[in-house]
Amino acid sequence: MNAMNRLALAISLAFPLVGHAGEVEVLHWWTSGGEKRAADTLQKLVEQKGHTWKDFAVAGGGGEAAMTVLKTRAVSGNPPSAAQIKGPDIQEWGELGLLADLDEVAEQGRWDELLPRQVTEVMQYDGSYVAVPVNVHRVNWLWVNPEVFEKAGAQPPTTLDELWAAADRLQAAGYIAIAHGGQPWQDGTVFEDLALSILGPEDYHKAFVDLDEEVLTGDRMVQAFAALKKLRSYVDADAAGRDWNRATGLVIDGKAGMQIMGDWAKSEWTAANKKAGEDYQCLPFPGTQGSFAYNIDSLAMFKLSDEDDRKAQEDLARTVIEPEFQQVFNQNKGSIPVRLDQDMSAFDSCAQKSMQDFKQAAQGEGLQPSLAHGMAASSYVQGAVFDVVTNFFNDPNADPQQAARQLAAAIQAVQ
């Protein structure tokens, strides 16, 4: 038997029962090193089911460029099989009547049992599954360089008062206390963590999900802005316009002591061959222990007319939830699996801690959607918050009480 025949036999043995091979076209923006490896894994797993994968990666803008392309395709009546859409945007696409029903796949895969209620609600439109969750990112992390802390005589903080005390020691020892990148979404991330710390999860939810004016203008929101102003004094003068990964690099290189950032920052530490729990520490942002601000990547499925392509689309949804993909993707991305029954033994200590806190938070009010990362409210509300927060952050004379009033007014204006 020649090599070509052996290859053909191997393929036929690998896929003996595939009678309905279809094509899945997937629009996403997983284009960085670790993300691309994760997406490549999904492609291989789908192809193992006998289907054809058509990659539709659109880099840049945190998904803004991809959404522009998607809208053009959808309007012309030619949407992809699946697109990386998340949070409230899933509801907006659902209202247009363009999303496919995944209830049968979800029932077969026991999604209601495997996934937290807070996650399944985001993946549904009008009571039916229309999207599949890929991962869970934790936003409220504080990243610490323990060697820098030791040299400065600082202690890892668990409260905001301890955060300021550690920052004072770091500054006095000549380090940048808090590495930050001056971009609206990064300012929003820091503000969100401060708000979660000071308001607590229930009032955080009232403010940024329910958009409750009383909470938005209340005393504790004023305190959150006052804390943001104090935090600004620990950020170096060169922060303006700095990308988040460059800020992470300052902590890795021992020039800064801390960074407030979601768990995608871990990918930078991993790339630098640093070990979680030894070379760096991941701590819940001070005052948010027991809370988990989440950002969930997901693939929404579009209605297709071709039956084979529809089968391929359903197999894609099944594959995303399977433990194999959940492990490989999340180890590359820095996030954690969405499955509550996932074996975490192969993950690092930060991911294991994150999963533990995720499960605990899901049992009560602690699991809350990230505003800064498009999970809590519409993009219009998010933009309004970013404008107020960034203007406040960059104005040394800004008044916290006035900022809280401006926040409520800006949100009201875009509803």
Q: Is residue 363 part of a domain?
A: no
Q: Please answer whether residues 329 and 135 qualify as being in contact, where contact means their C-beta atoms are separated by less than 8 angstroms.
A: yes
- Whose tokens are 């995944």? That residue is 102
Q: What is the CA radius of gyration of the chain?
A: 22
Q: Are residues 61 and 206 in the same domain?
A: no
Return the structure tokens found at 319: 């594959």
Rounded to whole angstroms, the Cα distance separating 216 from 76 reads 41
- Whose tokens are 């899901």? That residue is 362
Q: Please answer whether residues 270 and 282 qualify as being in contact, where contact means their C-beta atoms are separated by less than 8 angstroms.
A: no
Q: Is residue 57 part of a domain?
A: yes
| Cβ-Cβ contacts under 8 Å for 258 (sequence gap 6 or more) | 142, 143, 144, 145, 166, 167, 170, 177, 178, 179, 251
Q: Is residue 347 part of a domain?
A: yes
Task: Centre a 10 Å sphere on the Cβ of residue 1 and count the other Cβ atoms it contains.
Answer: 8
Q: Is residue 13 part of a domain?
A: no
Q: Are residues 108 and 142 in the same domain?
A: no
231: nearest Cα among 308, 179, 269: 179
Q: Are residues 145 and 290 in the same domain?
A: yes
Rounded to whole angstroms, the Cα distance separating 239 from 320 reads 37
Residues across the chain: 415
* Residue 322, CA distances (Å) to 55, 315, 348, 393 in order: 20, 11, 20, 43
Q: What share of the chain is helix, strand, coil (3-state, %, to 5)?
A: 55, 15, 35
Sheet containing strand 52-57, strands side by side: 52-57, 23-28, 82-84, 298-301, 131-133
Element (H, E) at 170: helix 160-172
Q: What is the CATH number of the domain that holds 231?
A: 3.40.190.10
Element (H, E) at 33: helix 33-48
pLDDT in tens, the chain (415 residues): 544 444 334 334 444 444 458 999 999 988 877 788 888 999 999 999 999 999 999 986 567 788 899 999 998 999 999 999 999 999 999 999 999 999 999 999 999 999 989 899 999 999 999 999 999 999 999 999 999 999 999 999 999 999 999 999 999 999 999 999 989 999 999 999 999 999 999 999 999 999 999 999 999 999 999 999 999 999 999 999 999 999 999 999 999 999 999 999 998 898 899 999 999 999 999 999 999 999 999 999 999 999 999 999 999 999 999 999 999 999 988 899 999 999 999 999 999 999 999 999 999 999 999 999 999 999 899 999 999 999 999 999 999 999 999 999 999 999 8
Q: Is residue 302 part of a domain?
A: yes
CA angle 335, 338, 343 (to 5 degrees): 85
Q: Are residues 214 and 267 in the same domain?
A: yes
CA dihedral 379, 26, 186, 207 (to 10 degrees): 40
| Cβ-Cβ contacts under 8 Å for 92 (sequence gap 6 or more) | 378
Rounded to whole angstroms, the Cα distance separating 348 from 350 reads 6
Rounded to whole angstroms, the Cα distance separating 88 from 73 reads 20
Q: What are the backbone angles phi and psi of residue 286, rounded to the nearest 5°?
A: -50, 130
Q: Are residues 87 and 126 in the same domain?
A: yes
Return the structure tokens found at 125: 């439109």
- Whose tokens are 């504080």? That residue is 142
State the pLDDT at residue 9: 40
Q: Are residues 132 and 142 in the same domain?
A: no
Q: Are residues 146 and 29 in the same domain?
A: no
As for how many domains the chain has, the answer is 2
Q: Is residue 16 part of a domain?
A: no
State the pLDDT at residue 32: 77
Q: Is residue 326 part of a domain?
A: yes
Q: Are residues 169 and 88 in the same domain?
A: no
Q: Are residues 290 and 325 in the same domain?
A: no
Which structural domain, as residue segments, surrounds residue 106? 21-137+296-353
DSSP β-bridge partners for residue 143: 259, 282
Q: Are residues 330 and 387 in the same domain?
A: no
State the pLDDT at residue 65: 86
Q: Are residues 159 and 279 in the same domain?
A: yes
Q: Is residue 359 part of a domain?
A: no
- The amino acid occupying position 208 is F
10 Å CB burial of residue 173 (0-12, 13-18, 19+) is middle
Q: Are residues 192 and 109 in the same domain?
A: no
| Cβ-Cβ contacts under 8 Å for 12 (sequence gap 6 or more) | none
Q: Please answer whether residues 83 and 27 qualify as being in contact, where contact means their C-beta atoms are separated by less than 8 angstroms.
A: yes
CA angle 196, 198, 200 (to 5 degrees): 55
Buried/exposed code over 119-138 (b: 16+ C-beta within 10 A; e: otherwise): bbebbbbeeebbbbbbbbbb
183: nearest Cα among 239, 233, 238: 239
